[in-house]
Structure 1
Protein backbone atom coordinates (compact mmCIF):
# COMPACT_ATOMS: atom_id res chain seq x y z
CA UNK A 1 0.00 0.00 0.00
CA UNK A 2 1.22 3.51 -0.81
CA UNK A 3 2.15 6.08 1.81
CA UNK A 4 -1.00 8.13 1.24
CA UNK A 5 -3.10 4.97 1.24
CA UNK A 6 -1.82 4.13 4.72
CA UNK A 7 -3.08 7.56 5.86
CA UNK A 8 -6.47 6.83 4.25
CA UNK A 9 -5.80 9.57 1.69
CA UNK A 10 -6.13 9.29 -2.08
CA UNK A 11 -3.04 8.94 -4.24
CA UNK A 12 -2.42 11.93 -6.53
CA UNK A 13 -3.72 11.48 -10.07
CA UNK A 14 -2.92 14.87 -11.61
CA UNK A 15 0.08 17.24 -11.66
CA UNK A 16 -1.81 19.77 -9.55
CA UNK A 17 -2.49 17.26 -6.78
CA UNK A 18 1.16 16.17 -6.86
CA UNK A 19 2.19 19.82 -6.38
CA UNK A 20 -0.28 20.14 -3.51
CA UNK A 21 1.26 17.15 -1.75
CA UNK A 22 4.75 18.58 -2.29
CA UNK A 23 3.61 21.84 -0.72
CA UNK A 24 2.03 19.95 2.18
CA UNK A 25 5.34 18.21 2.87
CA UNK A 26 7.21 21.50 2.48
CA UNK A 27 4.96 23.19 5.05
CA UNK A 28 5.16 20.24 7.44
CA UNK A 29 8.97 20.44 7.46
CA UNK A 30 8.71 24.08 8.52
CA UNK A 31 6.05 23.42 11.18
CA UNK A 32 7.89 20.45 12.67
CA UNK A 33 11.11 22.47 12.81
CA UNK A 34 9.41 25.37 14.59
CA UNK A 35 7.64 23.05 17.02
CA UNK A 36 10.87 21.21 17.80
CA UNK A 37 12.81 24.42 18.40
CA UNK A 38 10.12 25.91 20.64
CA UNK A 39 9.81 22.64 22.59
CA UNK A 40 13.58 22.43 23.16
CA UNK A 41 13.78 26.05 24.27
CA UNK A 42 10.80 25.59 26.58
CA UNK A 43 12.31 22.51 28.22
CA UNK A 44 15.66 24.26 28.66
CA UNK A 45 13.96 27.24 30.31
CA UNK A 46 12.02 24.98 32.66
CA UNK A 47 15.15 23.07 33.66
CA UNK A 48 17.38 26.14 33.96
CA UNK A 49 18.48 27.28 37.43
CA UNK A 50 19.10 30.83 36.26
CA UNK A 51 16.41 33.47 36.68
CA UNK A 52 16.20 37.20 36.17
CA UNK A 53 13.78 39.52 37.94
CA UNK A 54 14.52 42.55 35.79
CA UNK A 55 14.25 43.19 32.04
CA UNK A 56 17.36 43.96 30.01
CA UNK A 57 17.59 45.20 26.47
CA UNK A 58 18.99 42.71 23.97
CA UNK A 59 19.04 44.32 20.56
CA UNK A 60 20.97 41.50 18.90
CA UNK A 61 18.64 38.70 19.87
CA UNK A 62 15.57 40.81 19.01
CA UNK A 63 16.97 41.38 15.52
CA UNK A 64 17.66 37.66 15.14
CA UNK A 65 14.22 36.50 16.24
CA UNK A 66 12.62 39.05 13.91
CA UNK A 67 14.68 38.26 10.79
CA UNK A 68 14.56 34.46 11.07
CA UNK A 69 10.71 34.23 11.16
CA UNK A 70 10.57 36.64 8.21
CA UNK A 71 12.78 34.28 6.16
CA UNK A 72 10.65 31.32 7.24
CA UNK A 73 7.48 33.09 6.08
CA UNK A 74 9.08 33.84 2.70
CA UNK A 75 10.17 30.18 2.48
CA UNK A 76 6.53 29.21 2.97
CA UNK A 77 4.93 31.96 0.85
CA UNK A 78 6.87 31.50 -2.40
CA UNK A 79 5.78 27.88 -3.07
CA UNK A 80 2.25 28.82 -2.01
CA UNK A 81 2.06 31.64 -4.56
CA UNK A 82 3.48 29.35 -7.25
CA UNK A 83 0.79 26.77 -6.51
CA UNK A 84 -1.95 29.42 -6.63
CA UNK A 85 -0.82 30.50 -10.09
CA UNK A 86 -0.73 26.87 -11.26
CA UNK A 87 -4.32 26.39 -10.04
CA UNK A 88 -5.52 29.40 -12.05
CA UNK A 89 -3.71 28.44 -15.26
CA UNK A 90 -6.02 27.87 -18.24
CA UNK A 91 -5.10 26.21 -21.53
CA UNK A 92 -6.44 27.51 -24.85
CA UNK A 93 -6.45 24.10 -26.56
CA UNK A 94 -8.28 22.22 -23.82
CA UNK A 95 -11.55 20.32 -23.99
CA UNK A 96 -14.39 22.04 -22.15
CA UNK A 97 -16.80 20.27 -19.81
CA UNK A 98 -19.68 22.03 -18.11
CA UNK A 99 -21.05 20.84 -14.77
CA UNK A 100 -24.30 22.17 -13.32
CA UNK A 101 -25.31 21.49 -9.72
CA UNK A 102 -28.92 20.83 -8.81
CA UNK A 103 -30.69 19.85 -5.62
CA UNK A 104 -29.46 17.12 -5.50
CA UNK A 105 -27.70 15.78 -8.58
CA UNK A 106 -25.26 16.92 -11.27
CA UNK A 107 -25.79 17.46 -14.97
CA UNK A 108 -23.01 17.66 -17.55
CA UNK A 109 -22.44 19.04 -21.02
CA UNK A 110 -19.52 18.52 -23.41
CA UNK A 111 -20.07 21.21 -26.07
CA UNK A 112 -16.72 20.66 -27.80
CA UNK A 113 -17.79 17.08 -28.61
CA UNK A 114 -21.41 17.94 -29.36
CA UNK A 115 -22.74 16.07 -26.33
CA UNK A 116 -25.88 17.66 -24.92
CA UNK A 117 -26.79 17.77 -21.26
CA UNK A 118 -27.10 14.48 -19.36
CA UNK A 119 -27.88 13.94 -15.69
CA UNK A 120 -25.83 12.01 -13.15
CA UNK A 121 -27.83 10.57 -10.24
CA UNK A 122 -26.58 8.57 -7.28
CA UNK A 123 -27.45 4.86 -7.47
CA UNK A 124 -29.59 3.70 -4.57
CA UNK A 125 -28.14 1.17 -2.16
CA UNK A 126 -30.58 -1.58 -3.17
CA UNK A 127 -29.64 -1.13 -6.84
CA UNK A 128 -25.87 -1.37 -6.39
CA UNK A 129 -23.96 -4.13 -8.12
CA UNK A 130 -21.38 -6.24 -6.29
CA UNK A 131 -18.19 -4.31 -5.56
CA UNK A 132 -19.75 -0.87 -6.02
CA UNK A 133 -19.31 1.91 -3.51
CA UNK A 134 -22.33 2.92 -1.46
CA UNK A 135 -23.32 6.61 -1.73
CA UNK A 136 -20.62 7.16 -4.39
CA UNK A 137 -21.75 5.33 -7.53
CA UNK A 138 -23.76 7.19 -10.19
CA UNK A 139 -25.73 6.06 -13.22
CA UNK A 140 -23.84 8.27 -15.70
CA UNK A 141 -20.12 8.95 -15.26
CA UNK A 142 -18.35 11.94 -16.77
CA UNK A 143 -15.69 10.79 -19.28
CA UNK A 144 -12.42 12.74 -19.12
CA UNK A 145 -9.56 12.19 -21.62
CA UNK A 146 -6.27 10.94 -20.23
CA UNK A 147 -3.07 13.01 -20.45
CA UNK A 148 -4.94 15.91 -22.09
CA UNK A 149 -5.57 19.32 -20.57
CA UNK A 150 -9.28 19.80 -19.97
CA UNK A 151 -11.31 22.62 -18.47
CA UNK A 152 -14.29 22.07 -16.19
CA UNK A 153 -16.82 24.91 -15.93
CA UNK A 154 -19.11 24.77 -12.92
CA UNK A 155 -22.32 26.60 -12.18
CA UNK A 156 -25.53 25.96 -10.26
CA UNK A 157 -29.24 26.17 -10.98
CA UNK A 158 -30.38 26.75 -7.40
CA UNK A 159 -27.97 27.02 -4.43
CA UNK A 160 -24.18 26.97 -4.03
CA UNK A 161 -22.58 23.60 -4.66
CA UNK A 162 -18.93 22.54 -4.97
CA UNK A 163 -17.62 20.17 -7.66
CA UNK A 164 -14.82 18.28 -5.92
CA UNK A 165 -12.50 15.44 -6.95
CA UNK A 166 -9.84 15.10 -4.19
CA UNK A 167 -7.45 12.81 -6.08
CA UNK A 168 -7.27 15.32 -8.95
CA UNK A 169 -6.84 18.34 -6.69
CA UNK A 170 -10.10 19.90 -7.92
CA UNK A 171 -12.52 21.87 -5.75
CA UNK A 172 -14.65 24.25 -7.78
CA UNK A 173 -17.54 26.29 -6.40
CA UNK A 174 -20.75 26.09 -8.41
CA UNK A 175 -22.50 29.42 -7.84
CA UNK A 176 -25.90 30.36 -9.36
CA UNK A 177 -25.50 32.92 -12.15
CA UNK A 178 -21.72 32.55 -12.30
CA UNK A 179 -19.27 30.39 -14.25
CA UNK A 180 -16.14 29.18 -12.47
CA UNK A 181 -13.52 27.22 -14.38
CA UNK A 182 -10.49 25.12 -13.55
CA UNK A 183 -8.05 23.01 -15.54
CA UNK A 184 -7.74 19.27 -14.93
CA UNK A 185 -5.04 17.00 -16.37
CA UNK A 186 -5.45 13.39 -15.23
CA UNK A 187 -2.33 11.28 -15.62
CA UNK A 188 -3.75 8.01 -14.27
CA UNK A 189 -6.52 6.04 -15.93
CA UNK A 190 -9.36 4.84 -13.77
CA UNK A 191 -12.51 5.92 -11.97
CA UNK A 192 -12.36 8.80 -9.50
CA UNK A 193 -14.96 9.68 -6.90
CA UNK A 194 -15.90 12.94 -5.25
CA UNK A 195 -18.81 14.62 -3.53
CA UNK A 196 -20.33 18.04 -3.26
CA UNK A 197 -18.22 19.92 -0.71
CA UNK A 198 -20.69 22.69 0.00
CA UNK A 199 -23.58 22.21 2.45
CA UNK A 200 -26.38 22.65 -0.08
CA UNK A 201 -29.39 21.24 1.71
CA UNK A 202 -31.00 18.14 3.16
CA UNK A 203 -29.62 15.73 0.53
CA UNK A 204 -26.19 17.33 0.35
CA UNK A 205 -24.46 14.00 0.96
CA UNK A 206 -26.38 12.23 -1.83
CA UNK A 207 -24.99 13.95 -4.93
CA UNK A 208 -21.67 12.21 -5.63
CA UNK A 209 -19.34 12.98 -8.53
CA UNK A 210 -17.78 10.21 -10.60
CA UNK A 211 -15.44 10.70 -13.53
CA UNK A 212 -13.80 8.07 -15.67
CA UNK A 213 -10.50 8.85 -17.35
CA UNK A 214 -9.83 7.08 -20.62
CA UNK A 215 -7.58 7.34 -23.63
CA UNK A 216 -8.96 9.08 -26.71
Structure 2
Protein backbone atom coordinates (compact mmCIF):
# COMPACT_ATOMS: atom_id res chain seq x y z
CA UNK A 1 0.00 0.00 0.00
CA UNK A 2 1.26 3.47 -0.83
CA UNK A 3 2.28 5.78 2.00
CA UNK A 4 2.73 9.52 2.20
CA UNK A 5 5.78 10.88 0.30
CA UNK A 6 6.48 7.50 -1.30
CA UNK A 7 8.31 7.86 -4.63
CA UNK A 8 9.53 4.30 -5.14
CA UNK A 9 7.67 1.21 -6.31
CA UNK A 10 5.56 -0.89 -3.99
CA UNK A 11 7.38 -3.69 -2.20
CA UNK A 12 6.74 -6.71 -4.40
CA UNK A 13 4.86 -9.57 -2.75
CA UNK A 14 4.38 -11.82 -5.78
CA UNK A 15 6.76 -13.46 -8.22
CA UNK A 16 5.59 -11.27 -11.11
CA UNK A 17 5.98 -8.02 -9.16
CA UNK A 18 9.44 -9.01 -7.93
CA UNK A 19 10.55 -9.69 -11.49
CA UNK A 20 9.06 -6.39 -12.69
CA UNK A 21 11.11 -4.61 -10.02
CA UNK A 22 14.26 -6.30 -11.34
CA UNK A 23 13.41 -5.22 -14.89
CA UNK A 24 12.75 -1.68 -13.67
CA UNK A 25 16.12 -1.55 -11.89
CA UNK A 26 17.90 -2.87 -14.99
CA UNK A 27 16.19 -0.30 -17.24
CA UNK A 28 17.01 2.56 -14.88
CA UNK A 29 20.68 1.55 -14.70
CA UNK A 30 20.89 1.32 -18.49
CA UNK A 31 19.13 4.67 -19.00
CA UNK A 32 21.34 6.38 -16.39
CA UNK A 33 24.52 5.11 -18.04
CA UNK A 34 23.25 6.16 -21.47
CA UNK A 35 22.36 9.68 -20.31
CA UNK A 36 25.73 10.02 -18.57
CA UNK A 37 27.55 8.98 -21.76
CA UNK A 38 25.54 11.44 -23.87
CA UNK A 39 26.20 14.29 -21.43
CA UNK A 40 29.92 13.48 -21.47
CA UNK A 41 29.99 13.57 -25.27
CA UNK A 42 28.04 16.84 -25.38
CA UNK A 43 30.37 18.52 -22.88
CA UNK A 44 33.36 17.17 -24.76
CA UNK A 45 32.09 18.64 -28.04
CA UNK A 46 31.35 22.02 -26.43
CA UNK A 47 34.79 22.34 -24.86
CA UNK A 48 37.03 20.91 -27.58
CA UNK A 49 38.61 22.87 -30.42
CA UNK A 50 36.85 22.26 -33.78
CA UNK A 51 38.82 19.99 -36.08
CA UNK A 52 38.28 17.81 -39.15
CA UNK A 53 35.83 20.34 -40.57
CA UNK A 54 36.40 19.02 -44.08
CA UNK A 55 34.92 15.56 -43.40
CA UNK A 56 32.07 14.73 -45.77
CA UNK A 57 31.50 11.11 -44.72
CA UNK A 58 32.78 8.55 -42.26
CA UNK A 59 31.37 5.03 -42.55
CA UNK A 60 32.87 3.84 -39.26
CA UNK A 61 31.36 6.75 -37.34
CA UNK A 62 27.95 6.22 -38.96
CA UNK A 63 28.06 2.51 -38.16
CA UNK A 64 28.98 3.30 -34.55
CA UNK A 65 26.18 5.78 -33.85
CA UNK A 66 23.64 3.36 -35.34
CA UNK A 67 24.92 0.17 -33.70
CA UNK A 68 25.28 1.56 -30.16
CA UNK A 69 21.61 2.72 -29.84
CA UNK A 70 20.51 -0.58 -31.41
CA UNK A 71 22.53 -2.48 -28.83
CA UNK A 72 21.02 -0.42 -26.00
CA UNK A 73 17.49 -1.12 -27.26
CA UNK A 74 18.31 -4.82 -27.55
CA UNK A 75 19.61 -4.89 -23.96
CA UNK A 76 16.37 -3.25 -22.78
CA UNK A 77 14.09 -5.42 -24.92
CA UNK A 78 15.28 -8.87 -23.79
CA UNK A 79 14.27 -8.64 -20.09
CA UNK A 80 11.12 -6.68 -20.97
CA UNK A 81 9.89 -9.34 -23.41
CA UNK A 82 10.77 -12.08 -20.95
CA UNK A 83 8.72 -10.30 -18.28
CA UNK A 84 5.72 -9.94 -20.61
CA UNK A 85 5.75 -13.63 -21.51
CA UNK A 86 6.24 -14.65 -17.89
CA UNK A 87 3.13 -12.69 -16.85
CA UNK A 88 1.04 -14.75 -19.29
CA UNK A 89 2.63 -18.13 -18.52
CA UNK A 90 0.51 -20.57 -16.56
CA UNK A 91 1.72 -23.68 -14.74
CA UNK A 92 -1.61 -25.11 -13.64
CA UNK A 93 -3.43 -22.76 -11.24
CA UNK A 94 -4.59 -24.19 -7.93
CA UNK A 95 -7.34 -21.64 -7.32
CA UNK A 96 -9.53 -19.72 -9.76
CA UNK A 97 -11.27 -16.52 -8.69
CA UNK A 98 -13.83 -14.86 -10.92
CA UNK A 99 -14.09 -11.08 -10.49
CA UNK A 100 -17.04 -9.10 -11.85
CA UNK A 101 -17.11 -5.32 -11.71
CA UNK A 102 -20.33 -3.42 -11.05
CA UNK A 103 -21.23 0.20 -10.46
CA UNK A 104 -19.87 0.46 -7.80
CA UNK A 105 -18.76 -2.74 -6.12
CA UNK A 106 -17.03 -6.04 -6.91
CA UNK A 107 -18.45 -9.56 -7.04
CA UNK A 108 -16.27 -12.63 -6.45
CA UNK A 109 -16.85 -16.29 -7.24
CA UNK A 110 -14.91 -19.45 -6.34
CA UNK A 111 -15.95 -22.61 -8.17
CA UNK A 112 -12.95 -25.00 -8.13
CA UNK A 113 -14.05 -27.30 -5.30
CA UNK A 114 -16.54 -25.39 -3.17
CA UNK A 115 -18.86 -22.92 -4.86
CA UNK A 116 -18.65 -19.59 -3.06
CA UNK A 117 -19.81 -16.17 -4.22
CA UNK A 118 -20.16 -12.82 -2.48
CA UNK A 119 -20.15 -9.07 -3.09
CA UNK A 120 -17.56 -6.65 -1.76
CA UNK A 121 -18.53 -3.06 -0.92
CA UNK A 122 -16.65 -0.14 0.56
CA UNK A 123 -16.74 -0.36 4.35
CA UNK A 124 -18.17 2.78 6.00
CA UNK A 125 -15.86 2.23 8.99
CA UNK A 126 -12.56 2.83 7.19
CA UNK A 127 -9.77 4.09 9.43
CA UNK A 128 -7.80 7.23 8.68
CA UNK A 129 -4.82 5.12 7.57
CA UNK A 130 -6.83 2.93 5.18
CA UNK A 131 -9.33 5.57 4.12
CA UNK A 132 -11.49 4.40 1.19
CA UNK A 133 -9.63 1.07 1.12
CA UNK A 134 -11.44 -1.13 3.64
CA UNK A 135 -14.22 -3.44 2.42
CA UNK A 136 -16.87 -5.53 4.12
CA UNK A 137 -15.80 -8.80 2.45
CA UNK A 138 -12.21 -9.55 1.48
CA UNK A 139 -10.87 -11.85 -1.20
CA UNK A 140 -8.62 -14.63 0.11
CA UNK A 141 -6.01 -16.59 -1.83
CA UNK A 142 -3.44 -19.16 -0.63
CA UNK A 143 0.25 -18.40 -0.37
CA UNK A 144 2.74 -20.30 -2.49
CA UNK A 145 0.14 -21.42 -5.02
CA UNK A 146 -0.65 -20.02 -8.44
CA UNK A 147 -4.03 -18.31 -8.52
CA UNK A 148 -5.88 -17.52 -11.72
CA UNK A 149 -8.09 -14.43 -11.71
CA UNK A 150 -10.80 -14.12 -14.38
CA UNK A 151 -12.02 -10.55 -14.66
CA UNK A 152 -15.08 -9.15 -16.41
CA UNK A 153 -17.73 -6.46 -15.97
CA UNK A 154 -21.51 -6.36 -15.95
CA UNK A 155 -21.98 -2.74 -16.99
CA UNK A 156 -19.11 -0.36 -17.85
CA UNK A 157 -15.32 -0.50 -18.00
CA UNK A 158 -13.54 -1.13 -14.70
CA UNK A 159 -9.98 -2.08 -13.83
CA UNK A 160 -8.98 -4.50 -11.06
CA UNK A 161 -5.63 -3.21 -9.80
CA UNK A 162 -3.37 -4.46 -7.00
CA UNK A 163 0.03 -2.71 -7.26
CA UNK A 164 1.76 -4.77 -4.56
CA UNK A 165 0.95 -8.00 -6.41
CA UNK A 166 1.77 -6.50 -9.80
CA UNK A 167 -1.76 -6.75 -11.18
CA UNK A 168 -3.83 -4.31 -13.24
CA UNK A 169 -6.40 -5.92 -15.51
CA UNK A 170 -9.29 -4.23 -17.31
CA UNK A 171 -12.81 -5.47 -16.62
CA UNK A 172 -14.64 -5.23 -19.95
CA UNK A 173 -18.34 -6.06 -20.47
CA UNK A 174 -18.77 -9.19 -22.58
CA UNK A 175 -15.11 -10.17 -22.31
CA UNK A 176 -13.12 -12.22 -19.79
CA UNK A 177 -9.52 -11.21 -19.10
CA UNK A 178 -7.12 -13.46 -17.24
CA UNK A 179 -4.35 -12.69 -14.77
CA UNK A 180 -2.07 -14.99 -12.80
CA UNK A 181 -0.61 -14.29 -9.39
CA UNK A 182 1.83 -16.28 -7.27
CA UNK A 183 1.91 -14.61 -3.82
CA UNK A 184 5.11 -14.87 -1.82
CA UNK A 185 4.15 -13.28 1.49
CA UNK A 186 1.24 -13.63 3.89
CA UNK A 187 -0.55 -10.34 4.42
CA UNK A 188 -3.34 -7.98 3.43
CA UNK A 189 -3.00 -6.05 0.19
CA UNK A 190 -5.09 -3.16 -1.08
CA UNK A 191 -6.05 -1.87 -4.48
CA UNK A 192 -8.71 0.19 -6.22
CA UNK A 193 -10.60 0.40 -9.47
CA UNK A 194 -8.21 2.12 -11.89
CA UNK A 195 -10.60 2.93 -14.72
CA UNK A 196 -13.00 5.87 -14.56
CA UNK A 197 -16.40 4.18 -14.26
CA UNK A 198 -18.79 6.84 -13.02
CA UNK A 199 -19.62 9.09 -10.09
CA UNK A 200 -18.60 6.54 -7.41
CA UNK A 201 -15.41 5.40 -9.12
CA UNK A 202 -13.30 6.31 -6.07
CA UNK A 203 -15.39 4.07 -3.82
CA UNK A 204 -14.50 0.68 -5.32
CA UNK A 205 -11.63 -0.58 -3.14
CA UNK A 206 -10.07 -4.03 -3.33
CA UNK A 207 -8.68 -5.98 -0.40
CA UNK A 208 -6.92 -9.29 -0.90
CA UNK A 209 -5.75 -11.43 2.01
CA UNK A 210 -2.99 -13.96 1.37
CA UNK A 211 -3.39 -16.85 3.82
CA UNK A 212 -1.57 -20.11 4.54
CA UNK A 213 -3.20 -23.03 2.74
CA UNK A 214 -4.78 -24.46 5.89
CA UNK A 215 -6.39 -21.15 6.86
CA UNK A 216 -7.53 -20.58 3.29
CA UNK A 217 -9.40 -23.90 3.27
CA UNK A 218 -10.99 -23.07 6.62
CA UNK A 219 -12.06 -19.65 5.32
CA UNK A 220 -13.51 -21.16 2.14
CA UNK A 221 -15.46 -23.74 4.14
CA UNK A 222 -16.76 -21.12 6.57
CA UNK A 223 -17.94 -18.82 3.78
CA UNK A 224 -19.68 -21.75 2.10
CA UNK A 225 -21.51 -22.73 5.30
CA UNK A 226 -22.33 -19.17 6.35
CA UNK A 227 -22.73 -17.08 3.18
CA UNK A 228 -21.97 -13.38 3.54
Q: TM-score scaled to structure 2, two decimals?
A: 0.86
For residues 131-142 of structure 1, the aligned pairs below 5 Å read: 133-142=130-139
Matched, 1:150 2:144: no
Distance 1:131 1:197, change over 3 A: closer
Matched, 1:160 2:157: yes
Q: CA deviation at 1:49?
A: 2.7
For residues 75-90 of structure 1, the aligned pairs below 5 Å read: 75-90=75-90
Partner SS for 2:188:
strand
Residue 162 of structure 1 contacts residue 171 of structure 1 at CA under 8 Å; is this kept in 2? yes
| Match of residue 199 from structure 1 | 196
Query: Over aligned residues, Cα RMSD in angstroms?
Result: 1.8
Q: CA deviation at 1:92?
A: 2.4
Matched, 1:180 2:177: yes
Deviation by residue 1:193-212 (Cα, 9 ceiling, x = unmatched) = 01111111221111011000
Deviation by residue 1:90-111 (Cα, 9 ceiling, x = unmatched) = 2324210000001111110011
Deviation by residue 1:20-66 (Cα, 9 ceiling, x = unmatched) = 00000111111111100111111111222326665521111111111
Matched, 1:29 2:24: no
Matched, 1:67 2:67: yes
| Match of residue 97 from structure 1 | 97
Distance 1:202 1:52, change over 3 A: farther
Residue 104 of structure 2 contacts residue 203 of structure 2 at CA under 8 Å; is this kept in 1? yes
Residue 190 of structure 2 contacts residue 207 of structure 2 at CA under 8 Å; is this kept in 1? yes
- Aligned counterparts of 2:195 and 2:51: Cα–Cα separation in 1: 53
Unaligned segments of structure 2, at least 5 residues? 214-228
Residue 87 of structure 1 contacts residue 183 of structure 1 at CA under 8 Å; is this kept in 2? yes
Unaligned segments of structure 1, at least 5 residues? none
Partner SS for 2:92:
coil
Count of aligned positions: 209
Residue 90 of structure 1 contacts residue 182 of structure 1 at CA under 8 Å; is this kept in 2? no
Runs of 4+ in 1 over 3 A off after TM superposition: 5-9, 51-55
Residue 92 of structure 2 contacts residue 146 of structure 2 at CA under 8 Å; is this kept in 1? no
- Aligned counterparts of 1:210 and 1:121: Cα–Cα separation in 2: 10
